[in-house]
Structure 1
Amino acid sequence: MKKILFLTGDFAEDYETMVPFQMLQMVGFEVHAVCPDKKKGDTVKTAIHDFEGDQTYSEKPGHHFQLTYTFDDVKEADYEGLVIAGGRAPEYLRLNKRVLEIVQYFASNNKPLAAICHAPQILAAAKVLNGRKLTSYPAVGPEVELAGGTYVSVAPSESVTDGNLVTSPAWPGHPSFIAAFLKVLGVKIDL
């Protein structure tokens, strides 16, 4: 069974953790959900971000998401692609040297890489955005530009693909985001 590495952490956005994880399992991938300093069976707390007409998203408690693999056991070459959940987790995950090494491996080996919402903060910290076109939650746009990327403003329900990189602004983009990531992975679904 082909494997996908899925990076999440405490207070990652709930839907951006649960939905891609389950969708990738649904099409047949073994998904290794990991978080630094945590082991298989440990949980992370998620947060539900909603868009209710305020100047930014609101945040509510989410679920306890159970990790399926131990972070310290990750060997990048074992995976077809990498997905990074958004929310608040990327702001501290980007401080982890090993997280940055993993991202750099996928970027430098042109392996499928998907990042949603605030996850491009990790891509910026890993210095893999130079010359790339991508989207993110709008508040992360300046970081994308400062890291040498071109921020593309799209509706929350859309995604942007640039070679092996697939991005979306937020969880309303899941259908477009996951469909684009599956295409980059070479997955074909016959209806």
Structure 2
Amino acid sequence: MNSKILMIVGDYGEDLEIYFPFQALTLLGFQVDAVCPQKKKQDKVKTAVHDFRDGDQTYMESRGHDFTINADFPQDPSQYAGLVLPGGRAPEYLRLHDEVLVVVEHFLKEKKPIVAVCHGIQLLTAVGGLEGKKLTCYPACKFEVTKQGGVYEKVGYDEVVVDGNIVTSPAWPGHANAFREFVKLLGVTITHK
């Protein structure tokens, strides 16, 4: 089994959507390369914390932690078994980098496992090729999904949608379910004795 996972991060990505997958996948024995275009290994990205309050029309944002990039942006994405796309504000500008789109397109074309949480879907919609795919995301991004021919599924924030090689969830409360499905696609079975 290839144990290398690529995670694309950027400034003001959602704190939990960066830290949780990095730590959880590392715990399971994967090598998670967290990369950012125009940043090098040991550079940092700033994260943001998004919280949901009853009655608010959208999430509230505050400054999170600094997260250290642990690898340079790959020239060859074929070395990776899976792709993690956290949300937050980072995806809206990460999709402006051609090298990011090339990597995302590689995973889509090769049908390798992808997990996109919240606004992470924006990196998939920027590439296209989602016609007929059932997907979910933060509700504000649903129009990007439908404009690319995807089928938006409205689910709870702690739920996921799996369609082929793509796992999506609307927000960080869905992490446990999203990453359980993602590692299944990677060929990992977790058992308890």
- State the TM-score bracket (shorter-chain normalisation): over 0.9
Matches within 5 A, 1:1-191: 2-53=3-54, 54-71=56-73, 73-191=74-192
Distance (whole Å) between structure 1 residues aligned to residue 41 and residue 75 of structure 2: 11
Give the CA deviation at 1:143.
Answer: 0.6
C-alpha root-mean-square deviation of aligned residues, in Å? 0.9
Q: Normalising by the residue count of structure 1, what TM-score does the alignment of the two structures yield?
A: 0.97
TM-score after normalising by structure 2: 0.96
Gap change, CA 1:74 and 1:68, over 3 Å in 2: farther
Secondary structure of the 1:19 match is: helix
SS of the residue aligned with 2:57?
coil
Which amino acid is the alignment partner of residue 88 of structure 1? R
Report the secondary structure of 2:107's partner residue. Answer: helix
Following the alignment from structure 2 to structure 1, what is the Cα–Cα distance between the partners of residues 108 and 166? 8
Give how far 1:75 is off.
Answer: 1.7
Q: What residue ranges of structure 2 are gaps of 5+ in the alignment?
A: none
Q: CA deviation at 1:74?
A: 4.0
Rounded to whole Å, the distance in 2 between the matches of 1:98 and 1:34 is: 11
State the alpha-carbon separation in 1 of the partners of residues 111 and 191 from structure 2: 26
**Distance of 1:91 and 1:76 partners within structure 2:** 21
Looking at structure 1, the residues matched to 132 and 71 of structure 2 have their Cα atoms a distance apart, in angstroms, of: 33
Q: Tell me how far 1:2 sits from its aligned partner.
A: 1.4
- List alignment gaps of at least 5 residues for structure 1: none
The aligned amino acid for 1:164 is: N
State percent identity of aligned pairs.
Answer: 52
- 1:189 corresponds to which letter in structure 2? I
Which of structure 1's runs of 4+ aligned residues deviate more than 3 A? none
Q: Secondary structure at the match of 1:119?
A: helix
Count of aligned positions? 190
AA at the equivalent of 1:16? E
Distance 1:152 1:68 in 2: 34
